[in-house]
Amino acid sequence: MSAALKTDYLTINMGPQHPSTHGVIRFIIKTDGEIIHECDPDIGYLHRGIEKLAESVSWQGFVPFTDRVDYVCAMNANLSYSMAVEKLMGLEIPQRAEYIRVIVSELNRISSHAIAIGAANMDMGAFTPFVHLLREREHINDLLEMICGARLTYNYICIGGVNYDLPPGFKEKTLEFLDHFEVVVEQINRLISYNQIFIKRFANVAVVPPEMAMQYNLVGPNLRGSGVKFDVRVAEPYSIYPELDFDVPVGEGYEGTLGDCYDRYLVRVKEIRESIKIIRQCLQRIPGGEHKAVVKNVIKPPKGHIYFRTETPRGDTGYFIYSDGKTSPNRLKIRTGSFTAMSIIPEIAKGVFIADLVAIIGSLDVVAPELDR
């Protein structure tokens, strides 16, 4: 009987247009019924050649491009690039600008994590938390619109500081939002994070032990979900983070094995609370003064190379810049969190269900434009 029946793996093309791939990513999966035997991610559908473009635009002119590298947390991308160039130039920026930068990037971190959590919920079939979190993100977008007039790609943080000072009333509005949002986070937790079906779907799925996470260089919440207590804001402090008081949440195997999807998910939830804490402190301490250092229109950083990384919602985003002392970078490479997170998928998506692959993508919080650049 078994000799007569030839069984074969079913090769399925998941993507590039698929509801749960969070953008244009393609997975070529070989399945045995519902169980994935092999998964090969195919990326590059959103490759826009930003690194090539960087070689022909001015140093300041590249800031809007960083918005497009990761549009879910554009402020953090702005910050990474601006700080890398400032380090290269040895530029000092005013204290007020540092505070504003931290406030906006933490606000953006909240909105990015809200999307990550909501999308993970939606992949699991719970649509309502996603919409609720989008509503909260709207409030953050309103706040950021007050600051810079844009809602998605801000181009707000620039080399030497920030483009505009805080508008009047921003502090009050932000505090009001934080009061509101703290409650909402707990409600979302009660609605979905502590839901037994949700926990069953996420716990013990796609376990990434700490050693594997280091081998593949997972970064940010994904790394901390595996129990490695590492945060660039603490380990390699930049800006005003050393003065602030906040915790680094790590995965502890909350509902199962250490480093499973649920750990990664819950680390994000906890990071939202930490971000709220940081913003409150910053709003309290923000000094007066200039919001931007004096920077020439045409800058020529000295010859040299730098690899600078900051903590963005999807892990640390590193900017490698090689300057040959001209008006545009000679080489610029962006190492993003999604890229390394994606490279681990072939390893962990073996012997799991198709539905689990969706959970893995959701818990790793992959954003396609950041992946391909």
Partner 1 sequence: MESILLGLGLEEATAQILGAILKALIVLLFFVTVGGVLTWVERRLSGFMQSRLGPNRVGPQGFLQWIADGVKLVFKEDLVPDGADRVLFRLAPYFCLIGVFCTLVVLPWGSGIIIADLNVGLFYFISITSLVVIGVLMAGWSSNNKWSLLGGMRAAAQIVSYEIPVGLGLLVPILISGTLSMQGIMASQGWLPWDWMLFKSPFTVLSFFIFFVGSLAEANRIPFDLPEAESELVSGYCTEYTGFRYAVFFLSEWANLFVVGALTTVVYLGGGNLPGMISGLWVVSLLVFFLKTGLVVFLIIWIRWTLPRFRIDQLMKLSWKYLLPAAFLAFFGQALWMLLTWKLPLVQLAMAVLIFLTFLVLLYLFIKRVSVNIKEQKTSVNSPLPAEAGK
Partner 2 sequence: MNTIGIYELLKEKTNVVASFQEVEGPTPSIYVRSDFLLEAMRFLKEDEELKFEILMNQTAFHETEDSKLFWHLYFDAPKDQDESHSHEELRLFWHLYSYTHYHRVVIESSIPIGNPVIDSVTSIWKGADWLERETYDLLGIQFEGHPDLRRIMMPEDWEGYPLRKDYVNPTAYQSIDNTPSEITRSFQPKGK
* Contacts to partner 1 by CB under 8 A: 10, 12, 18-20, 33-34, 121-128, 131-132, 135, 139, 168-169, 172-173, 176-177, 179-180, 183-184, 187, 190-192, 195, 197-198, 200-201, 353-356, 358
33/49 with CB nearer partner 2? 49
* Cβ proximity to partner 2, 145 vs 236, nearer residue: 236
- C-alpha span between 341 and 323 (Å, rounded): 29
Residue 350 in contact with partner 2, rule: CB under 8 A: no
Cis preceding linkage at 64, omega within 30: no
In the complex, minimum distance from the CB of residue 344 to partner 2, in angstroms, rounded to a whole number: 8
Bridge partners (DSSP) of residue 316 are 311
Nearest CB to partner 2, comparing residues 47 and 285? 47
**Which H, E and C letters describe 30-89, residue by residue?**
EEECCEEEEEEEECCCCCCCHHHHHHHCCCHHHHHHHHHHCHHHHHHHHHHHHHHHHHHH
Spatial distance between the Cα atoms of 171 and 178, rounded to a whole number of angstroms: 11
Residues between 228 and 287 with contacts to partner 2, criterion CB under 8 A? 228, 230, 235-236
Cα→Cα distances 181→69, 93, 276, 353, Å: 27, 31, 9, 35
Nearest CB to partner 2, comparing residues 179 and 211 = 211
What sign has the CA pseudo-torsion 295, 298, 303, 306? positive
Of 199 and 348, the one with the shorter C-beta distance to partner 2 is: 348
**Interaction of residue 347 with partner 2, rule CB under 8 A:** yes
Q: Which of 101, 353, 116, 139 is nearest to 238 (CA)?
A: 101
Of 112, 340, 360, 366, which lies in the binding site for partner 2, with binding defined by CB under 8 A?
A: 340
Decide the pairing of beta strands 10-14 and 157-158: unpaired
Look at residue 347 and give the partner it binds from partner 1, partner 2, none, a contact being a CB closer than 5 to 8 Å depending on partner kind: partner 2
**Count H helices, E strands: the chain?**
15, 8
Contact set for partner 2, span 48-87 (CB under 8 A): 49, 51-52, 87
Site residues (CB under 8 A) for partner 2?
A: 43-44, 47, 49, 51-52, 87-88, 90, 214-217, 228, 230, 235-236, 302-307, 309, 318, 320, 322-324, 330-331, 333, 335, 339-340, 342-343, 347, 372
